[in-house]
Amino acid sequence: MAETPRAVALADVEPNRRRGGELRVVLGPKTAGATTGFMGVLTLQPGEFVSEHYHPYSEEFLYVVRGTATARLDGEEVSVSAGEGLLVPRSMRHRVENNGTETVEAVFHLGPLAPRPELGHVDTEPLPAPEEPQPQVGGAE
């Protein structure tokens, strides 16, 4: 548990576009002192996607707030609309796409944390913005 409860504003978190779309880790070890996982917001404009990857240590929870996202889970397509959630099991390859005409906004949570940040994601396709830095969620270094 964080030593001191802390509210973090979405606008105060730098976006990361390395894997596509706009990812912002709002609550995590670096922003709020979290010790078991991290939570953030994903924004995908029409035609954008988050490239395929998997998490060897974490489950991912995705809740769509606005729009309809298409998730590809080990190649199988699943549609997730506003008001719906999706569990991505540990080590399952997944890609999230916006194939619609409306912006997709989704909240994501991953837990537990990987033993080291660089072990948290394994990319399985080329990144849309490889020049962007790796998202820094913190955790054990």
Residue extents of the structural domains in the chain = 22-122
What count of other Cβ atoms lies within 10 Å of the Cβ of residue 87?
Answer: 10
Is 2 a residue whose pLDDT tops 70? no
Biggest CA pair distance of the chain: 43
Residue 139: what pLDDT? 52
pLDDT of residue 136: 65
User: In 3-state terms, what secondary structure has residue 129?
Assistant: coil
Contact 98, 69 (CB under 8 A): yes
CATH H-level superfamily of 22-122: Jelly Rolls (2.60.120.10)
Summarize pLDDT for 93-124 with one digit per residue, the tens.
Answer: 999 999 999 999 999 999 999 988 888 999 99
| 2-24 CB burial, b ≥16 within 10 A, e <16 | eeeeeebeeeebeebbbbbbebb
